[in-house]
Structure 1
């Protein structure tokens, strides 16, 4: 098989296979559709021969992706324990362990090569498996080859996170490029075609070049998509109809779909339309399949999907997600309802909560066909998966609909359950009033019409809500009542939830042993499969350490722990929360570019609204304000809007902090005082939080406020207020608060202030640096450093200093590894910066970013020479 201009890629794959013996490797083969990713990997697999055992799986372009699709393909290839656990719907951990056992195998077995095609269509569970395998690849001496379309990976595409989590030391990127004009011209001349026309129509895309040169028509078609349609028209009617049927089946058509048409299959293959694939047939590429499918009339397309659905529904072991895909496209509401519930339940069991919610969402559209009890149950299942996937608005709407049905059926226990979930989901969406109202209603319903178990869970919900609003003594009281009843009834779920609320409140109050109790609760919850409780226990440790206790160094490990747990179990809501905590930590630890990367990701994923948006908006607003960016006030305004929807201290305080800072730098100290007082007045209504109160009190005094201050002010802030800068700086250093340490040093003697100034300059924090320079001149300091050139704060694309550096190196053509080495960063951090650059430039690939940089004259905007 001839592959034009792909020998270098094949050589690199061959080299990686050799090196995998000294520690596994990961090859990321990327490029736009039709550049030959599958062809390169297929040729590499052929050349491996007996040297390697190739295990091959693919992701499909379905309405909702198959859960663990490529791993299921591999399971059919290997059989054994892996296939058995997949068929049994075992938990992801058991399936992944079986796969590792399959890779390890006997020593005499050839080296494993694991191929996953089209990873840009992967589901959540598959991405988890890839990260699981990537972290262990060096222990199994395997080569993992992933192909994906890099032009389809937007900044927030989930595959980006999975790729960033792979060990950089083991990853090699093989980016395929279009064919050179010289190669296209040579092949065109051989086929008797006009080289200029061929290159203009194909852009050097190998698939399109091949298809264009294969056409026997005298006239070159106006569009390359017409190639496959011309070939279709040349087929006999039966073969053409069969090819149309195959066109509505992503990836390949099973043998069962074409078993009764052997002659049309042969004719379609002979006519260059289809190729053999496993026990069935397929188009040579998804581009070609899509061209045929898109040419069908809507009625014809729906009819073909109905035929596929009828056949596949009778095939044992077919993934229900595929049946949902064809049912949706066939417009068969009954089938969508039937298979959507099956697929949703299966995806949920395997931890693919986003896919589960998508299947349930499709089923709910046809729920009117169900009796009220079944309809309510479907809505509750949907809401549960939506919550775990972080789709809180969806979950809230589903719970409201379920509540109405349960009320009409007069089922108090299920009415109470839905009210508790409405309370929880309303909080996450930012509706504190509804959250409180539903929580109170749940207690009333349980007390009047429910039993002890319902009352315990209602109490537990109030305990959790009281934690969130800093009513910590109430949280302990409600939690202890809930735990006592739950333990007497043997209700581990409710007892654990109450325990987590109680110990979180105690940790925030500084009680000894609270952190250890939360860690124990995490282990117990994890051991019993209560993943949301397990994540909450770890997440609360991280959040309290970062916010209420200001133990920033300790919070780093805690944040990483809960982030890893949430990612492993596809708890997207908790993953967003953890990113918010991490963005705050990175701000305080003077890791501002990384803080902005985290904040931008959260804001994009939650649409800039709801509870999860508040902290990242506050973090981003503070950094933009410090850097003098024009978007700072709008960002802080958005943060205030979302914070006031909840009107809880833990959300209002960080926004008030940032806004007070901003107005002080803007030369409006009275407004800065009012913003600090906004937070202080709210903080006075809840249990004392010395670090939350202390920060706001410091901002108030810093802006010239002379009114009385609260008693509850944490020691380092009290030191700063009292002018004891050296002791305050030492305290912040011991806590890992690098930026706060700089604030303390700025009030100190000349060497201390100059040290603070250097940090401000390194961060690109122009506003505090300007203020400090002016202060030093007022003090009579003779040599005040001028500071760096202000290219970044006013950067035409709004890039941070580090992002501008990264863009400059992209323009130079450096790889991620080379950028990491030049800037002394990790490969993962470079990936984050590149994602942020692409987002701010409004592009989806490195090449597009470079083109925009040249067009807008953005080169050299960073700090690098």
Structure 2
């Protein structure tokens, strides 16, 4: 019989309900969170005891290692069969199909504890499962410490991607004073000091009570140590040895370290340890840390050295574990021997952060490396850091690789290092340096004739050039690389070359460009070239946005996310997120779009090349909402765009500045748009040119038409407001449609424009529209919206109000998507936002509220 659980009935009830639903064929995920010691483990173990023997239980725990084991908790949960083999090999695709098959067997519970320590490969699998769990007869239970999730914690990206009715978030609150009193066996008065010291944290309370001292220990560490000190010295020594192994110690490893593990019985009896057939573990991680933290550094080093020796004697040990203990033991030779392979495995599994950390561990001991070894590790680290969106670290590693290669007599290796450096320089906004490095690599290697290194350099020269709108030069380099690959008889870079070649053609207005890019992307996907696929989707989405093909973006975003949520490519994911938020804003969700874009830029380290995807959109929203920092954001967006040297960022930023000039009556704000016009007078730039001219016309520049631009722009430039408004309505942009209605000069369309501006929160445009109405002799100009109204008590956006109405009509998400001509995923996001704003938990409650609002 397990320990008494207080004030956890609601969580246990939810788990029971979810398990019953899983048994009926509809699965769900339960995310159980709380601070360290909140009782997450106690809840899931109580639940496990209840269901023991009635369901298949797969359980694993994430370890607090220097670099977590790849698929660590899943390897604990599944040790045999094809899935066990796939987990051992690190075969990601086989793991995904295998874990889904495991959960398709009724009825299965997969429990993963301490997900805040999970490796990135495991996080990807959990995200994969959570998105499919509704169709499986299974229950996925994840526990994590929400007080350890910093702003950049990788688990945040997973949690942010999980939503819908089949994902349940349960946070364990601290115990009440009454519950603490019950545990203490006294009253709220006699337990007052205990409650004040523990703030109701169940672990703190139970550990303090178990210490058995006259006074309550001031910290949990004291409480734990008070219990440990009562044990015989050999038992204490055994606990100290186990304490340096994060999370759990397999029984064979425990025997290797301790000999006879029966000496742990006393520690088990007092509740410090739990001994299971497969592993020994401290009852709570905080207890392990408390014991470990009291050990002198010299003792920790020796104890870790023993673990390291034991692990080396075992077959199939994850090298990441070896590296963790090698670092703690100060065994630099072991770190250098094992970290590169551990890093390679992590990166191959998509865990770029872990890979970068492990490469850094080896490079920190560079005195044990030859220059060739160090240079190779620096280059590998640069790519891991790049994909993990650590742009400064990537640049530093690439620069060191070049310096090392320059001292060695190996032109081929130096050329590759220079090409690698070029991409990192470009990512860090050093565009001129990037072009120079890539060009130097080509010039250095060309005299020796065809080679894989020269082909590599040509490809990255082409990549950099197409990103700064030097398409014809880029295509020349890429075509040369393709021809060289054919002559060499092997072309490992072919798909990447074709992706950027397709982009170059697309930017030049060549109709074959989009198809070539899509074909190359499909080829890369079929070949399992994960990094190229991720970057290919970024290019595809960026070009669709650039050319106003908004209706196609949802499908591409969905495809890219589906591919890469099974892997970890933070750089690409941040770019997709930027376009997802810009698309939401275009459709009228300004609050959500702005919040999302600001979140992408809240860390100064992210104001590099990636910002060109987010800053222009954020600046435009700020201009349209009239936020106090609109001009500051415009300045930041323009500075970033100028450094990027790309019309992709320059044009929307200049257009936003010209729009601000129109809203404020300051024609001087159109100077950047005017200066960019000459760069847009060529094929492929028609839409860019039209966008600039559209706002310059509103600042007093004579009208000028542009052949080949989309109808919403062409009609505007012709002065045909009615056709332009209809075109913008088809695009799905309510703000731009309202701008065209305002152009009409007719009272009814202008009144309609005002209603749209007020609904969107476009205060500057609404102010301008009210002035226009007064000029049209409208005597009773509608007032602006109140802070709250009975019709919209939660401040829903126009689109959210529309969806709320459709929920009231009983439509499913798929039916709403068909009605609004958007993706089901977009509707899912809107429905989740509506439920959150209305503070209701089900669609039925939202529909009932919609009916009441309609009746009012």
CA displacement 1:442-461 (0-9 Å, x = unmatched): 22112123525444333333
Pair 1:254 & 2:250 matched: yes
CA contact (8 A) 1:551 1:736 kept: no
Pair 589,289 (structure 1): closer, same or farther in 2 beyond 3 Å: same
Q: Is there any run of 5+ residues in structure 1 with no aligned partner, and where?
A: 793-798, 807-820, 837-864
Pair 1:785 & 2:782 matched: yes
Q: Secondary structure at the match of 2:218?
A: coil
Please name the residue that 1:84 is paired with. Answer: 85
Q: Secondary structure at the match of 1:611?
A: coil
Deviation at 1:606, TM superposition (A): 6.4
Please name the residue that 1:759 is paired with. Answer: 756
Pair 308,826 (structure 1): closer, same or farther in 2 beyond 3 Å: farther
Please name the residue that 1:410 is paired with. Answer: 409
Please name the residue that 2:45 is paired with. Answer: 42
Q: Secondary structure at the match of 2:132?
A: helix
Please name the residue that 1:292 is paired with. Answer: 291
CA distance in 1 between counterparts of 2:140 and 2:272 reads 31
CA distance in 1 between counterparts of 2:413 and 2:780 reads 72
CA contact (8 A) 2:663 2:764 kept: yes
Please name the residue that 1:389 is paired with. Answer: 388
Deviation at 1:360, TM superposition (A): 0.8
Deviation at 1:290, TM superposition (A): 1.9
Please name the residue that 2:309 is paired with. Answer: 310
Deviation at 1:276, TM superposition (A): 1.6
CA contact (8 A) 1:469 1:650 kept: no
Deviation at 1:543, TM superposition (A): 1.3
CA displacement 1:470-518 (0-9 Å, x = unmatched): 2333333333332222233333333322222222222334433433332
Which of 164, 170, 184 is equivalent to 1:168? 164
Deviation at 1:50, TM superposition (A): 2.3
CA distance in 2 between counterparts of 1:588 and 1:259 reads 64
CA contact (8 A) 2:466 2:504 kept: yes
Alignment of 1:564-579 (within 5 A): 564-579=562-577
CA contact (8 A) 1:412 1:449 kept: no
Pair 707,554 (structure 1): closer, same or farther in 2 beyond 3 Å: closer
CA displacement 1:124-151 (0-9 Å, x = unmatched): 2111101221222233301111112223
Q: Is there any run of 5+ residues in structure 2 with no aligned partner, and where?
A: 802-815, 817-824, 838-855
Pair 1:196 & 2:199 matched: no
Pair 128,831 (structure 1): closer, same or farther in 2 beyond 3 Å: farther
CA distance in 2 between counterparts of 1:681 and 1:244 reads 72
CA distance in 2 between counterparts of 1:191 and 1:286 reads 30
Please name the residue that 2:625 is paired with. Answer: 627
Alignment of 1:572-611 (within 5 A): 572-604=570-602, 607-611=605-609
CA contact (8 A) 2:164 2:832 kept: no
CA distance in 2 between counterparts of 1:246 and 1:835 reads 45
CA contact (8 A) 1:673 1:704 kept: no
Pair 772,619 (structure 1): closer, same or farther in 2 beyond 3 Å: same
Alignment of 1:388-787 (within 5 A): 388-547=387-546, 549-604=547-602, 607-670=605-668, 672-680=669-677, 682-683=679-680, 688-705=684-701, 715-748=711-744, 749-787=746-784
CA distance in 2 between counterparts of 1:285 and 1:829 reads 40
Deviation at 1:278, TM superposition (A): 4.4
Q: Secondary structure at the match of 1:207?
A: helix
Which of 196, 204, 207 is equivalent to 2:203? 207
Deviation at 1:666, TM superposition (A): 4.0
Q: What's the TM-score once normalised by structure 1's chain length?
A: 0.87
Deviation at 1:608, TM superposition (A): 4.1
CA contact (8 A) 1:693 1:712 kept: no
Pair 1:227 & 2:226 matched: no
Q: Secondary structure at the match of 1:604?
A: coil
CA distance in 2 between counterparts of 1:560 and 1:104 reads 24
Task: Give RMSD over aligned pairs.
Answer: 3.2
CA distance in 1 between counterparts of 2:300 and 2:188 reads 37
Pair 697,135 (structure 1): closer, same or farther in 2 beyond 3 Å: same
Pair 192,437 (structure 1): closer, same or farther in 2 beyond 3 Å: closer
Q: Secondary structure at the match of 2:602?
A: helix
Q: Secondary structure at the match of 1:569?
A: coil
Pair 135,509 (structure 1): closer, same or farther in 2 beyond 3 Å: same
CA contact (8 A) 2:63 2:248 kept: no
Aligned length: 806
CA distance in 1 between counterparts of 2:438 and 2:220 reads 60
Deviation at 1:622, TM superposition (A): 1.9
CA displacement 1:500-547 (0-9 Å, x = unmatched): 222222233443343333222112111222222223333322211111
CA contact (8 A) 1:473 1:687 kept: no
CA contact (8 A) 1:231 1:272 kept: no
CA distance in 1 between counterparts of 2:437 and 2:835 reads 43
**Which of the pair has the greater relative contact order for Cα pairs under 8 Å at 6+ separation?**
1
